[in-house]
Amino acid sequence: MEPSALHFCVNGRGVIEKNADPETMLLPYLRRNLRLTGTKYSCGGGGCGACTVMISRYDPRTGKIRHYPANACLTPLCSLHGAAVTTVEGVGSTKTRLHPVQERIAKGHGTQCGFCTPGMVMSLYALLRNHPQPSEEQLADALAGNLCRCTGYRPILDVGRTFCKTSGCCQSKENGVCCLDQGVHGVPEAEEGVRTSPELFSEEEFVPLDPTQELIFPPELMILAEKQPQKPRVFTGDRMTWISPVTLKDLLEAKSKYPQAPVVMGNTSVGPEMKFKGIFHPVLISPDGIEELSVMKHGCNGLTLGAGLSLAQVQDVLADVVQQLPEEKTQVFRALLKQLRTLAGSQIRNMASLGGHIVSRHPDSDLNPLLAAGICTLHVLSKEGARQILLDEHFLSRSPSADLKPQEILLSVTIPYSRKWEFVSAFRQAQRKRNAQAIVNVGMRVFFGDGDGVITELSILYGGVGPATICARDTCRKLIGRHWTEEMLDEACRLVLGEVAIPSTAPGGRVEFRRTLLVSFLFRFYLEVSQGLSRMDPGRYPSLAGKYESAVEDLHPGHHWRTSKHQNVDPKQLPQDPIGRPIMHLSGIKHASGEAVYCDDMPAVDQELSLAFVTSSRAHAAIVSIDLSEALSLPGVVDIVTAKHLGDANSFAQETLLATDKVLCVGHLVCAVIADSEVQAKQAAEKVRIVYQDLEPLILTIEEAIQHNSFFESERKLESGDVEEAFLMADQVLEGEVHMGGQEHFYMETQSMLAVPKGEDEEMDVYVSTQFPKYIQDIVASTLKLPANKVMCHVRRVGGAFGGKVGKTGIMAAVTAFAAHKHGRAVRCILERGEDMLITGGRHPYLGKYKVGFLNDGRIVALDMEHYNNAGSSLDESLLVLENGLLKMENAYKLPSLRCRGRVCRTNLPSNTALRGFGFPQTGLITESCITAVAAKCGLAPEEVREVNMYQGTDHTPYGQEINTEGLARCWSECKAKAAFSLRRAAVDRFNAGSPWKKRGLAMVPLKYPVGLGNVAMGQASALVHIYLDGSVLVTHGGIEMGQGVHTKMIQVVSRELKMPMANIHLRGTSTETVPNANISGGSVVADLNGLAVKDACQTLLKRLEPIISKNPQGTWKDWAQAAFDQSVSLSAIGYFRGYELNIDWEKGKGHPFEYCVYGAACSEVEIDCLTGNHKNIRTDIVMDVGHSINPALDLGQVEGAFIQGMGLYTSEELKYAPQGALHTRGPDQYKIPAICDVPAELHVSFLPPSKNSNTLYSSKGLGESGVFLGCSVLFAIWDAVSAARRERGLPGTLALSSPLTPEKIRMACEDGFTKMIPRDIPGSYVPWDVLV
């Protein structure tokens, strides 16, 4: 077959690709070949939505056009023949016009770092193309496949709501009363009058959505589709052939010729397998527009659906069918719809086909257990003829007698109608409610032939519990003929646990949780069926009301209602003064249009090379040998850099760049492959052969480090008062420990760098996504043995960082620059998500041990504490994290006698580093856990114990610094009032009394977050301000824009100081060329410090120009600039701030390490499902003392984004390590950051009125990190709900608290008959899949 030409359109323009490579995905083609860099690479596996585009296809048979969102990273280029692709650039731009979606997401403050924004825009755009006035449910569904690490989603949802049919209200008339009439949950607001401050954006100003103005489907593609030649298209690459049959006959012919070739529709299964598991297929068959694969017909026994229908199309068909047919016939359809709503994101559902999902037979498939339980039939076809296969456990376990033959294709699936007295249910439990693979799922069906309650047929199939979907066939057989009673349920549970065995070493871990879910789901099925029987024949079957009703109800959906109360601008302030106003992020429009340039968006430099790292596969081993020969022999490979090449430049400060004779963790950088392309570099990296010899001991956990005395540095200690004496005064003494897991930064833009040698004087320009350009400059200069003045580091913007783009970034940039210097060619290195998570480390896991002495009223008189953090294999910033955690550990409490010691543990994990909050989210949680334990022991509410121990007025910290805590008291009392805490506490208790299986919890947590860097030098900052002769201004400073809006705030500062419109001021980016020796951007002080330097520069200029301005007060800046030039007055000024006067003496444990404190309080209410461990955030109220906000829109974004990130830290983000030290969780498939579905249904954030602090920039406070800790209010609310369940069940004592509180921990803490009946494994008798580090 001769190669075909690929015809498709991108943004309305035709593309003809004569040499389409079957291995090329749409994403790299858009970015490299078409230079459309708005579509971003973030995970490469369809899990984050950053690469979302809209694909439109025309069906000549129906004359209809289908628009749908798709992940460009998984869409093969060859699959696009005849399709129209729309990217963010095609939606709108600053050069043409902005689309309403782009305008609103920018002006509605829905962008921070902006890296996820093009994907968000495209998901919203595709939604609006299909539903110009969507419902809120459709909005949430459209965004479920998009992740954002910065915003906390609230502003994105608010923007989306402006397109919805109704807006502003919860849309739920509970008891016939609207939420806006009744306050929250029927609880009136504490403050009458104004609910919110002036809006952060004005809906009236938005351009209306006009569906008639959208891009039309290209007419040439319609003609192409109408006149399509009926012969297969063939595309051939270096290694792979792609065949696209367009008739059923050709498809069968191709499958007969290439029986081992997989049939690919959406590439959502084959694609990730090829990318992440290295499975290679020389031939792929991709049917295109074959009518027989898209059938939808009702037969007398069931509904037949074509195997080529996408899951989204199946969802639409089923939604129509359940509306048309009587309920008793649609049991399977309804259960399928329930599973489809939470399966993956909208992008994947629109790409994945029904047939592909079935034939892939993933062990955790959500649909296959249900289709098998529903006795579905598969219609398969080959050149030999047609036959039918039962979709049952034999097919799902790939039994040869029940499987497709290699030359057969799946044509369609028949799903039978259900019968009267037949009940079908499906359940799933995942780490996150949506867009997360199931931990366990199940499809269940029971049929009572005559409605007499005797089981005639029973099917139970589980997913996620073994290498294939498992049927509990023996259990079902033994239960036939039994009555549907509790005795039957008890026996069913015992039988299932005996038949469906999950071994203690099972991949995926969570073994006891999974065993518990087997029977918990069975119980829920029993109840759902009982409920159905009761509805059909109430006389024979009693109602569930009371005892069991709550077990089958869904978690509280919540009214989606959000308010924010920020600060009003002083009426006396000049209207043109932007300080205190909600100014849009400087790059917001560019984020939304895809025009904002990130490191990897920079055009390729002539003769540019790519670099890929080779990392260690062992955690602690000697390197016996490295064989580079096979890798070097591959085409396109230029060089491989090892530690030998670097020589004595292989170390910098305490860090080694590349491993020399041994490796200290899985992910340790060993060498770097340099090749002509990224693909060639990665392929060669896999061919580097390293022989290791394992070394002892292998230390992974904190406990192992303590046991082996494996620590960095000496102990750090903080002490105040006489602890031993104070313990003698206590009424009670309690001891406990808290373990807290780590956290991945999960910045949306992975580590990215481009080193460009200038050719002259050995100069090197390094473009890096980093928070610390000076460090990059220093480490690169050291590695190249050049003075720093020859190396310049440039940063335009960073796509999220959170502390993770400093140390390891520097090491990788140094190796990249070394390769560029050696070969005299530019070298680019962009990490894939899995590599990034493996190499870079994250937040430190912590172990806290405490001994607390307290009085019976809850007052703490003595506290003795030990902190251990898991640093990993090198020191990095671990000691600073430990020190910072110690200095902030008391949080909001006056602890008169305190001793706290901390150690940094050296282990064989990738080195952990700074992450937003820098130690405090861990140590603060340990202290709050201690408070909760004291409260339980005293029989008091935790909030009472918090109040009685809280700082009052002006007081001193354990290290002797004086602080004024008025703001703390105000935040606490205002949060309590706004949240109507007492009323809701009573409401929660009432709910819990009547609900055995769903429990609610309410918790309120205070916050004292000291801000400062501990010494003067770390706080110095510089800025450069130029005034040009046309009156425009260019400002440069040392801060990095990584989403927090620092550049926007700096322009606000210049505007105020020079009394100049913001439109006249420009900021290009950060560079060591313009501002030297700048400190790291972090620690919540970037705007503070750089703003004071910018202000200083502006005041210097004003002082110089004052005589000129006073002579011509009515003049313009253009007039004044020209006059100054004519009089030889310099129009350029350097601004400088030397840093706050801060210090700490660790020998004495005394000092003044912080400049001020951010105060706050958060109250959260949750509902948990005791059967599954699910939880729902019903409502969160946050009150913050932010000083005098420079930009309330940006500050609100920081508080909300930090809170949601903290909520993830404490509830869903779980890093899993193998016992040999390898990280299991290497992408969004395994590691779950919060998604849209996790945002509290109600979120109310308010700022206290402005307070003065003379030393800071306009009395503002840095808010970047403090809000993370408030996420633990959700953890303690969950714990409150769990405690209610345990009390009701008469369970003894309090359970040790640990973080994150995942569904697994929630379920296993709510002990009941089901957790007691599962088989338990004896620790130490087996090697688990993962270890707690």
Report pLDDT digits (tens) over 367-389.
999 999 999 999 999 999 999 99
981-993 and 966-978 helices cross at what angle (nearest 10)? Answer: 50
Between CA 1277 and CA 715 the distance in angstroms is: 34
Please report, for residues 443, 484, 543, the alpha-carbon distance to residue 531 in angstroms, rounded to integers and kept in the order given: 18, 12, 7
pLDDT at 1: 60
pLDDT at position 657 over 60:
yes
Question: How many angstroms separate the CA atoms of 1155 and 1141, rounded?
Answer: 8
CA 257/CA 241 separation, integer angstroms: 13
Residue-wise pLDDT tens digits, 1215-1259: 999 999 999 999 999 999 999 999 999 999 999 999 877 789 999
Residue whose C-alpha is closest to residue 1080's, from 793, 689, 702: 793
What six digits make up the tokens of 279? 């499975």
Q: 942: cis peptide before it, omega within 30°?
A: no
Identify which has the larger pLDDT, 569 or 1196: 1196
For 1271-1291, the pLDDT digits (tens) are 999 999 999 999 999 999 999
Sequence-separated (6 or more) residues with CB below 8 Å from residue 813: 753, 755, 766, 768, 770, 776, 779, 780
CB 358 within 8 A of CB 413: yes
C-alpha dist (Å) from residue 575 to 570, 571, 581, 1055:
10, 9, 10, 12
Name the amino acid, one letter, at 84. Answer: A
Q: What gap in Å lies between CA 850 and CA 856, rounded to an integer?
A: 18
CB 1012 within 8 A of CB 1153: yes
Q: What per-residue confidence (pLDDT) applies to 558?
A: 66
CB 118 within 8 A of CB 40: yes
DSSP string covering 974-1019: HHHHHTTHHHHHHHHHHHHHT-SSEEEEEEEEEEEEEE--SSSGGG
Q: What is the pLDDT of residue 198?
A: 53
Mean of the pLDDT values across residues 425-449?
A: 96
User: Concatenated DSSP letters for 207-265?
Assistant: PPP-GGGSPPPPHHHHHHHHT--SS-EEEE-SS-EEEE--SHHHHHHHHHH-TTSPB-S
Give the residue-averaged pLDDT of 796-818: 98
Q: Mean pLDDT lowest for which of 73-77, 191-195, 241-245, 996-1000?
A: 191-195
Under the phi-then-psi rule, with left for phi > 0, alpha for psi from -120 to 50, and beta for the rest, what region is 570?
beta
**Residue 200 binned pLDDT confidence (cut-offs 50, 70, 90):** confident
pLDDT of residue 192: 28
What do you get for the CA distance between the two ends of the chain, in Å? 56
Q: How confident is the model at residue 173 (pLDDT cuts 50, 70, 90)?
A: very low
Cα gap 322→424, rounded to integer Å: 14
Confidence band for 544, pLDDT divided at 50, 70 and 90: confident
CB 124 within 8 A of CB 346: no
**Cβ proximity of 232 and 245 under 8 Å:** yes
The first and second tokens of residue 889, run together, are 């550990």
Q: What pLDDT is stored for residue 595 in this prediction?
A: 98
Please list the residues that pair with 1009 across neighbouring strands: 1158
**Does residue 547 surpass a pLDDT of 90?**
no
The secondary structure of 133-174 as a DSSP string is S--HHHHHHHHTT---SSS-SHHHHHHHHTTSSS-SS----B
The two tokens of residue 371 are 């289709």
Those residues with Cβ within 8 angstroms of residue 545's Cβ, 6 or more apart along the chain or in another chain? none
User: 769 and 599 in contact (C-beta within 8 Å)?
Assistant: yes
Task: Indicate whether 1040 pLDDT > 70.
Answer: yes
Query: Residue type at 1045?
Result: G
Averaged pLDDT, 758-764: 95
CA 1248 to chain centre: 30
pLDDT at 556: 77
Confidence class of residue 1145 from pLDDT cuts 50, 70 and 90? very high
Q: DSSP code of 1264?
A: T
Let me know: does 23 contact 29? Beta carbons within 8 Å. no
Would you state the pLDDT for residue 559?
65
DSSP type of residue 177: B
Q: Tell me the pLDDT tens digit for each residue of 473-496.
A: 999 999 999 999 999 999 999 999
Q: Are 25 and 34 contacting, i.e. CB atoms less than 8 angstroms apart?
A: no
Sign of the Cα pseudo-torsion (1085, 1088, 1091, 1093, in order)? negative
Structure tokens at 1074: 């313009």
The structure tokens 């002036």 sit at 198
622, 692 Cβ separation under 8 angstroms: yes
Contacts of 305 (CB under 8 A, 6+ apart): 295, 296, 314, 317, 354, 412, 413, 414, 415
Pairwise CA distance, residues 1136 & 866, whole Å: 40
Q: Return the percentage of the chain with pLDDT > 70, whole number.
A: 97
Average pLDDT of the chain is 94
Q: Is 880 exposed, middle or buried (0-12, 13-18, 19+ CB in 10 A)?
A: middle
Question: Catalytic positions, please?
Answer: 1265
Average pLDDT over residues 265-281: 91
